[in-house]
Structure 1
Amino acid sequence: MKLFQLHTENQLLKLCQKGDQNAQMTLYKKYAQAMYQVSRNIIKDEMRAEEAMQDAFLAAFEKLDEFKAEVSFGAWLKKIVINKSLDYLKKDKMYQKTENTENLSILEELEEIDLFEKIETVKKAMNDLPENYRIILSLYYLEGYDYEEISEILDVSYDNSRVLLNRAKNKLITLLN
Protein backbone atom coordinates (compact mmCIF):
# COMPACT_ATOMS: atom_id res chain seq x y z
CA MET A 1 0.00 0.00 0.00
CA LYS A 2 2.81 2.45 0.73
CA LEU A 3 3.75 2.28 -2.94
CA PHE A 4 0.46 3.94 -3.90
CA GLN A 5 0.98 6.84 -1.51
CA LEU A 6 3.87 7.89 -3.74
CA HIS A 7 1.69 8.10 -6.85
CA THR A 8 -0.13 11.24 -7.91
CA GLU A 9 -3.87 11.10 -8.24
CA ASN A 10 -3.53 11.04 -12.05
CA GLN A 11 -1.21 8.04 -11.81
CA LEU A 12 -3.66 6.30 -9.49
CA LEU A 13 -6.51 6.99 -11.92
CA LYS A 14 -4.52 5.43 -14.78
CA LEU A 15 -3.82 2.37 -12.62
CA CYS A 16 -7.51 2.16 -11.71
CA GLN A 17 -8.45 2.23 -15.40
CA LYS A 18 -6.27 -0.85 -15.78
CA GLY A 19 -8.22 -2.55 -12.99
CA ASP A 20 -5.59 -2.19 -10.26
CA GLN A 21 -7.51 -2.92 -7.06
CA ASN A 22 -4.82 -1.47 -4.78
CA ALA A 23 -5.04 1.84 -6.63
CA GLN A 24 -8.84 1.71 -6.39
CA MET A 25 -8.62 1.08 -2.65
CA THR A 26 -6.23 4.01 -2.24
CA LEU A 27 -8.68 6.37 -3.98
CA TYR A 28 -11.58 4.88 -2.05
CA LYS A 29 -9.82 5.54 1.26
CA LYS A 30 -9.01 9.08 0.19
CA TYR A 31 -12.59 10.00 -0.73
CA ALA A 32 -14.87 7.61 1.17
CA GLN A 33 -15.57 9.73 4.25
CA ALA A 34 -16.29 12.91 2.28
CA MET A 35 -18.50 11.05 -0.20
CA TYR A 36 -20.35 9.32 2.62
CA GLN A 37 -21.15 12.76 4.08
CA VAL A 38 -22.47 13.90 0.70
CA SER A 39 -24.71 10.84 0.51
CA ARG A 40 -25.75 11.14 4.17
CA ASN A 41 -26.82 14.74 3.61
CA ILE A 42 -29.30 13.44 1.04
CA ILE A 43 -30.33 10.11 2.56
CA LYS A 44 -31.36 10.05 6.22
CA ASP A 45 -30.65 6.36 6.69
CA GLU A 46 -26.97 5.66 7.41
CA MET A 47 -26.98 2.20 5.84
CA ARG A 48 -28.69 3.40 2.65
CA ALA A 49 -26.26 6.33 2.43
CA GLU A 50 -23.36 3.89 2.76
CA GLU A 51 -24.83 1.65 0.05
CA ALA A 52 -25.39 4.57 -2.29
CA MET A 53 -21.85 5.83 -1.71
CA GLN A 54 -20.34 2.40 -2.39
CA ASP A 55 -22.45 1.94 -5.51
CA ALA A 56 -21.24 5.35 -6.67
CA PHE A 57 -17.62 4.28 -6.26
CA LEU A 58 -18.29 1.11 -8.24
CA ALA A 59 -19.95 3.12 -10.99
CA ALA A 60 -17.09 5.62 -11.01
CA PHE A 61 -14.46 2.90 -11.32
CA GLU A 62 -16.45 1.25 -14.12
CA LYS A 63 -16.77 4.56 -15.99
CA LEU A 64 -13.28 5.93 -15.37
CA ASP A 65 -12.63 5.99 -19.10
CA GLU A 66 -15.38 8.67 -19.31
CA PHE A 67 -13.55 10.92 -16.83
CA LYS A 68 -12.03 13.71 -18.93
CA ALA A 69 -10.36 15.70 -16.12
CA GLU A 70 -12.34 18.82 -17.04
CA VAL A 71 -13.08 18.97 -13.32
CA SER A 72 -11.25 17.34 -10.44
CA PHE A 73 -11.79 13.65 -9.82
CA GLY A 74 -13.37 14.54 -6.47
CA ALA A 75 -15.93 16.84 -8.11
CA TRP A 76 -16.73 14.21 -10.75
CA LEU A 77 -17.12 11.55 -8.06
CA LYS A 78 -19.29 13.86 -5.92
CA LYS A 79 -21.74 14.27 -8.80
CA ILE A 80 -21.95 10.48 -9.17
CA VAL A 81 -22.53 10.11 -5.41
CA ILE A 82 -25.30 12.71 -5.49
CA ASN A 83 -26.99 11.03 -8.44
CA LYS A 84 -26.74 7.57 -6.84
CA SER A 85 -28.14 8.94 -3.58
CA LEU A 86 -31.06 10.51 -5.42
CA ASP A 87 -31.62 7.22 -7.27
CA TYR A 88 -31.83 5.43 -3.92
CA LEU A 89 -34.45 7.88 -2.72
CA LYS A 90 -36.46 7.47 -5.91
CA LYS A 91 -36.28 3.69 -5.60
CA ASP A 92 -37.52 3.92 -2.04
CA LYS A 93 -40.33 6.22 -3.17
CA MET A 94 -39.22 8.78 -0.62
CA TYR A 95 -38.45 11.54 -3.10
CA GLN A 96 -41.04 13.96 -4.39
CA LYS A 97 -40.75 17.24 -6.22
CA THR A 98 -42.17 20.33 -4.57
CA GLU A 99 -42.41 24.02 -5.39
CA ASN A 100 -42.08 27.15 -3.25
CA THR A 101 -42.56 30.89 -3.57
CA GLU A 102 -41.26 32.55 -0.39
CA ASN A 103 -37.72 33.74 0.28
CA LEU A 104 -36.48 34.10 3.89
CA SER A 105 -32.94 34.00 5.19
CA ILE A 106 -32.15 31.29 7.74
CA LEU A 107 -29.28 33.31 9.13
CA GLU A 108 -31.47 36.36 9.79
CA GLU A 109 -33.87 34.21 11.80
CA LEU A 110 -31.08 32.72 13.93
CA GLU A 111 -28.92 35.81 14.67
CA GLU A 112 -29.44 35.66 18.42
CA ILE A 113 -28.43 32.01 18.92
CA ASP A 114 -24.87 30.88 19.65
CA LEU A 115 -23.09 29.35 16.62
CA PHE A 116 -22.92 25.84 18.09
CA GLU A 117 -26.57 25.96 19.04
CA LYS A 118 -27.38 27.17 15.53
CA ILE A 119 -25.62 24.23 13.97
CA GLU A 120 -27.22 21.65 16.26
CA THR A 121 -30.65 23.24 15.94
CA VAL A 122 -30.43 23.37 12.14
CA LYS A 123 -29.19 19.76 11.92
CA LYS A 124 -32.08 18.50 14.02
CA ALA A 125 -34.62 20.54 12.10
CA MET A 126 -33.21 19.42 8.74
CA ASN A 127 -33.65 15.79 9.78
CA ASP A 128 -37.34 16.53 10.31
CA LEU A 129 -37.80 18.01 6.84
CA PRO A 130 -39.29 16.07 3.93
CA GLU A 131 -36.59 14.41 1.83
CA ASN A 132 -36.86 16.79 -1.13
CA TYR A 133 -36.40 19.83 1.14
CA ARG A 134 -33.45 18.30 2.95
CA ILE A 135 -31.84 17.39 -0.36
CA ILE A 136 -32.04 20.84 -1.89
CA LEU A 137 -30.86 22.56 1.30
CA SER A 138 -27.92 20.14 1.48
CA LEU A 139 -27.02 20.67 -2.16
CA TYR A 140 -27.17 24.46 -1.83
CA TYR A 141 -25.76 25.13 1.64
CA LEU A 142 -23.58 22.10 2.37
CA GLU A 143 -22.34 21.12 -1.07
CA GLY A 144 -22.21 24.62 -2.57
CA TYR A 145 -24.16 24.00 -5.76
CA ASP A 146 -25.89 26.95 -7.42
CA TYR A 147 -29.47 27.03 -8.74
CA GLU A 148 -28.47 25.95 -12.24
CA GLU A 149 -26.47 22.95 -11.00
CA ILE A 150 -29.29 21.98 -8.64
CA SER A 151 -31.82 22.17 -11.46
CA GLU A 152 -29.67 19.72 -13.46
CA ILE A 153 -29.12 17.35 -10.54
CA LEU A 154 -32.80 17.27 -9.53
CA ASP A 155 -34.06 17.39 -13.12
CA VAL A 156 -36.23 20.47 -12.55
CA SER A 157 -36.27 23.86 -14.22
CA TYR A 158 -34.03 26.66 -13.00
CA ASP A 159 -37.08 28.54 -11.65
CA ASN A 160 -38.35 25.42 -9.87
CA SER A 161 -34.96 24.95 -8.19
CA ARG A 162 -35.21 28.52 -6.82
CA VAL A 163 -38.79 28.02 -5.72
CA LEU A 164 -38.04 24.65 -4.12
CA LEU A 165 -35.08 26.07 -2.22
CA ASN A 166 -37.16 28.96 -0.94
CA ARG A 167 -39.93 26.65 0.19
CA ALA A 168 -37.38 24.40 1.93
CA LYS A 169 -35.84 27.43 3.70
CA ASN A 170 -39.26 28.59 4.84
CA LYS A 171 -40.18 25.15 6.13
CA LEU A 172 -36.87 24.94 7.97
CA ILE A 173 -37.43 28.38 9.52
CA THR A 174 -40.90 27.27 10.62
CA LEU A 175 -39.41 24.21 12.29
CA LEU A 176 -36.75 26.34 13.95
CA ASN A 177 -39.27 28.77 15.43
Structure 2
Amino acid sequence: MAPEQKTIHIYLVERCQRGDRQAQNELYKLYVGAMYNICRRMMGGEEEAKDVLQDAFITAFSSIHTLKNEITFGAWLKRIVINHCLNAIKKKRLLTTELEEHHDFEEQPSEEMDYCDLEARKVLQAIDNISEGCRTVLNLYLFEGYDHKEIGQILGISESASKAQYSKAKSKIRKLLDVNT
Protein backbone atom coordinates (compact mmCIF):
# COMPACT_ATOMS: atom_id res chain seq x y z
CA MET A 1 0.00 0.00 0.00
CA ALA A 2 1.37 3.40 -0.99
CA PRO A 3 2.15 5.88 1.83
CA GLU A 4 -0.65 8.25 0.77
CA GLN A 5 -3.12 5.33 0.83
CA LYS A 6 -1.98 4.41 4.36
CA THR A 7 -2.54 7.99 5.43
CA ILE A 8 -6.05 7.98 3.94
CA HIS A 9 -6.86 4.68 5.65
CA ILE A 10 -5.57 5.97 9.00
CA TYR A 11 -7.62 9.13 8.59
CA LEU A 12 -10.78 7.16 7.71
CA VAL A 13 -10.33 4.78 10.63
CA GLU A 14 -9.82 7.70 13.03
CA ARG A 15 -12.99 9.34 11.71
CA CYS A 16 -14.87 6.03 12.09
CA GLN A 17 -13.68 5.77 15.67
CA ARG A 18 -15.32 9.15 16.28
CA GLY A 19 -18.60 7.80 14.81
CA ASP A 20 -18.38 9.45 11.38
CA ARG A 21 -20.87 7.58 9.12
CA GLN A 22 -19.39 9.06 5.93
CA ALA A 23 -15.98 7.60 6.83
CA GLN A 24 -17.63 4.23 7.48
CA ASN A 25 -19.19 4.39 4.04
CA GLU A 26 -15.84 5.24 2.45
CA LEU A 27 -14.04 2.38 4.25
CA TYR A 28 -16.88 0.05 3.30
CA LYS A 29 -16.47 0.98 -0.38
CA LEU A 30 -12.71 0.40 -0.17
CA TYR A 31 -13.00 -3.10 1.31
CA VAL A 32 -16.39 -4.53 0.32
CA GLY A 33 -15.20 -6.16 -2.92
CA ALA A 34 -12.29 -8.05 -1.41
CA MET A 35 -14.27 -9.07 1.67
CA TYR A 36 -17.20 -10.24 -0.47
CA ASN A 37 -14.84 -12.50 -2.41
CA ILE A 38 -13.73 -14.13 0.84
CA CYS A 39 -17.34 -14.63 1.96
CA ARG A 40 -18.42 -15.96 -1.42
CA ARG A 41 -15.65 -18.54 -1.56
CA MET A 42 -16.18 -19.69 2.01
CA MET A 43 -19.96 -19.70 2.16
CA GLY A 44 -20.61 -21.26 -1.23
CA GLY A 45 -23.71 -19.20 -1.95
CA GLU A 46 -24.24 -15.61 -2.98
CA GLU A 47 -27.05 -14.76 -0.55
CA GLU A 48 -25.30 -16.37 2.42
CA ALA A 49 -22.11 -14.53 1.49
CA LYS A 50 -23.92 -11.19 1.39
CA ASP A 51 -25.56 -11.82 4.78
CA VAL A 52 -22.28 -12.81 6.44
CA LEU A 53 -20.50 -9.86 4.83
CA GLN A 54 -23.02 -7.37 6.20
CA ASP A 55 -22.84 -8.92 9.68
CA ALA A 56 -19.04 -8.73 9.57
CA PHE A 57 -19.05 -5.05 8.62
CA ILE A 58 -21.56 -4.29 11.38
CA THR A 59 -19.27 -6.03 13.87
CA ALA A 60 -16.22 -4.21 12.53
CA PHE A 61 -17.78 -0.77 12.70
CA SER A 62 -19.33 -1.50 16.10
CA SER A 63 -15.96 -2.43 17.55
CA ILE A 64 -13.65 -0.17 15.52
CA HIS A 65 -12.92 1.82 18.67
CA THR A 66 -10.95 -1.22 19.91
CA LEU A 67 -8.60 -1.11 16.91
CA LYS A 68 -5.23 0.14 18.15
CA ASN A 69 -3.11 0.26 15.01
CA GLU A 70 -5.12 1.88 12.22
CA ILE A 71 -2.72 0.67 9.54
CA THR A 72 -3.78 -2.92 10.18
CA PHE A 73 -7.47 -2.23 9.49
CA GLY A 74 -7.53 -4.45 6.39
CA ALA A 75 -6.01 -7.44 8.19
CA TRP A 76 -8.26 -6.83 11.20
CA LEU A 77 -11.37 -6.67 8.99
CA LYS A 78 -10.31 -9.79 7.08
CA ARG A 79 -10.02 -11.71 10.34
CA ILE A 80 -13.50 -10.56 11.38
CA VAL A 81 -14.91 -11.63 8.00
CA ILE A 82 -13.28 -15.07 8.19
CA ASN A 83 -14.51 -15.57 11.76
CA HIS A 84 -18.04 -14.64 10.73
CA CYS A 85 -17.85 -17.11 7.83
CA LEU A 86 -16.59 -19.88 10.12
CA ASN A 87 -19.31 -19.14 12.68
CA ALA A 88 -22.00 -19.15 9.99
CA ILE A 89 -20.71 -22.49 8.67
CA LYS A 90 -20.75 -23.97 12.17
CA LYS A 91 -24.25 -22.61 12.80
CA LYS A 92 -25.49 -23.96 9.48
CA ARG A 93 -24.00 -27.34 10.29
CA LEU A 94 -25.88 -27.40 13.59
CA LEU A 95 -29.18 -26.22 12.13
CA THR A 96 -29.35 -28.30 8.99
CA THR A 97 -29.52 -31.97 8.29
CA GLU A 98 -27.82 -33.83 5.48
CA LEU A 99 -30.64 -32.87 3.14
CA GLU A 100 -29.25 -30.48 0.58
CA GLU A 101 -30.91 -28.80 -2.34
CA HIS A 102 -29.11 -29.17 -5.63
CA HIS A 103 -30.14 -27.02 -8.54
CA ASP A 104 -29.36 -28.61 -11.87
CA PHE A 105 -29.38 -25.51 -13.98
CA GLU A 106 -26.47 -23.85 -15.65
CA GLU A 107 -26.30 -20.14 -16.18
CA GLN A 108 -26.02 -19.25 -19.84
CA PRO A 109 -23.12 -16.89 -20.44
CA SER A 110 -23.83 -13.59 -22.18
CA GLU A 111 -22.01 -12.78 -25.38
CA GLU A 112 -19.88 -10.18 -23.56
CA MET A 113 -18.65 -12.71 -20.98
CA ASP A 114 -15.14 -13.64 -21.96
CA TYR A 115 -13.48 -16.99 -21.61
CA CYS A 116 -11.76 -16.17 -18.31
CA ASP A 117 -15.02 -15.14 -16.65
CA LEU A 118 -16.67 -18.33 -17.83
CA GLU A 119 -13.80 -20.48 -16.53
CA ALA A 120 -13.75 -18.64 -13.20
CA ARG A 121 -17.49 -19.28 -12.82
CA LYS A 122 -16.96 -22.97 -13.53
CA VAL A 123 -14.26 -23.19 -10.84
CA LEU A 124 -16.42 -21.28 -8.34
CA GLN A 125 -19.35 -23.55 -9.13
CA ALA A 126 -17.14 -26.63 -8.61
CA ILE A 127 -15.97 -25.23 -5.25
CA ASP A 128 -19.62 -24.63 -4.31
CA ASN A 129 -20.36 -28.31 -4.97
CA ILE A 130 -17.77 -29.85 -2.68
CA SER A 131 -18.47 -30.63 0.95
CA GLU A 132 -18.47 -27.79 3.44
CA GLY A 133 -15.43 -29.12 5.32
CA CYS A 134 -13.37 -29.45 2.18
CA ARG A 135 -14.47 -26.02 0.94
CA THR A 136 -13.55 -24.37 4.24
CA VAL A 137 -10.07 -25.89 4.36
CA LEU A 138 -9.49 -25.15 0.66
CA ASN A 139 -10.43 -21.49 1.12
CA LEU A 140 -8.39 -20.99 4.26
CA TYR A 141 -5.31 -22.64 2.75
CA LEU A 142 -5.42 -21.62 -0.90
CA PHE A 143 -7.04 -18.21 -0.80
CA GLU A 144 -6.44 -16.87 2.70
CA GLY A 145 -2.88 -18.15 3.11
CA TYR A 146 -3.20 -20.10 6.35
CA ASP A 147 -0.99 -23.15 6.78
CA HIS A 148 -2.42 -26.51 7.80
CA LYS A 149 -1.32 -26.12 11.41
CA GLU A 150 -3.19 -22.80 11.67
CA ILE A 151 -6.24 -24.26 9.93
CA GLY A 152 -6.23 -27.13 12.38
CA GLN A 153 -6.22 -24.69 15.29
CA ILE A 154 -8.97 -22.53 13.78
CA LEU A 155 -11.26 -25.47 12.99
CA GLY A 156 -10.33 -27.68 15.94
CA ILE A 157 -8.97 -30.49 13.76
CA SER A 158 -5.54 -32.03 13.40
CA GLU A 159 -2.97 -30.74 10.93
CA SER A 160 -3.14 -34.04 9.05
CA ALA A 161 -6.94 -33.81 8.86
CA SER A 162 -6.56 -30.36 7.32
CA LYS A 163 -4.11 -31.72 4.74
CA ALA A 164 -6.45 -34.63 3.97
CA GLN A 165 -9.43 -32.29 3.51
CA TYR A 166 -7.38 -30.05 1.21
CA SER A 167 -6.26 -33.01 -0.88
CA LYS A 168 -9.82 -34.33 -1.04
CA ALA A 169 -11.07 -30.88 -2.09
CA LYS A 170 -8.56 -30.63 -4.94
CA SER A 171 -9.43 -34.12 -6.11
CA LYS A 172 -13.17 -33.44 -6.09
CA ILE A 173 -12.75 -30.15 -7.95
CA ARG A 174 -10.60 -31.82 -10.60
CA LYS A 175 -13.26 -34.48 -11.00
CA LEU A 176 -16.04 -31.91 -11.23
CA LEU A 177 -14.11 -29.94 -13.83
CA ASP A 178 -13.09 -33.11 -15.70
CA VAL A 179 -9.44 -32.08 -15.50
CA ASN A 180 -7.02 -34.89 -16.27
CA THR A 181 -4.02 -34.99 -14.00
TM-score category of the 2 structures, normalised to the smaller one: 0.7 to 0.9
Shift of residue 151 of structure 1?
2.4
Match of 2:45 in 1: 45
Higher relative contact order (CA 8 A, sep 6+): 1
- Structure 1 residues 95 and 121, CA gap change in structure 2 (3 angstroms): farther
Match of 1:65 in 2: 65
Q: Deviations over 1:31-80 (max 9, x none)?
A: 01110110000112211111101110111112223323397211211111
Match of 1:19 in 2: 19
Q: Deviations over 1:69-117 (max 9, x none)?
A: 3972112111111111122222222799xxxxxxxxxxxxxxxxxx958
Match of 1:131 in 2: 132
Match of 1:111 in 2: none
Shift of residue 171 of structure 1?
2.5
Moved over 4 A (4+): 115-121
Aligned to 1:144, the other structure's residue is in SS state coil
- Code of the aligned partner of 1:175: L
Match of 1:146 in 2: 147
User: 1:163 and 2:136 equivalent?
Assistant: no
Unaligned runs of 5+ in 2: 97-114
- Structure 1 residues 72 and 37, CA gap change in structure 2 (3 angstroms): same
Paired residues in the alignment total 154
- Structure 1 residues 8 and 56, CA gap change in structure 2 (3 angstroms): same
- Structure 1 residues 40 and 167, CA gap change in structure 2 (3 angstroms): same
- The separation in 2 between residues aligned to 1:28 and 1:120, in whole angstroms, is 25
Aligned to 1:8, the other structure's residue is in SS state helix
Match of 2:86 in 1: 86
- Structure 1 residues 23 and 41, CA gap change in structure 2 (3 angstroms): same
Match of 1:75 in 2: 75
- The separation in 2 between residues aligned to 1:135 and 1:95, in whole angstroms, is 18
How do residues 92-111 of structure 1 correspond to structure 2 at under 5 angstroms? 92-93=92-93
Root mean square deviation, CA, Å: 2.8
Shift of residue 16 of structure 1?
1.0
- Structure 1 residues 93 and 129, CA gap change in structure 2 (3 angstroms): same
- Structure 1 residues 66 and 151, CA gap change in structure 2 (3 angstroms): farther
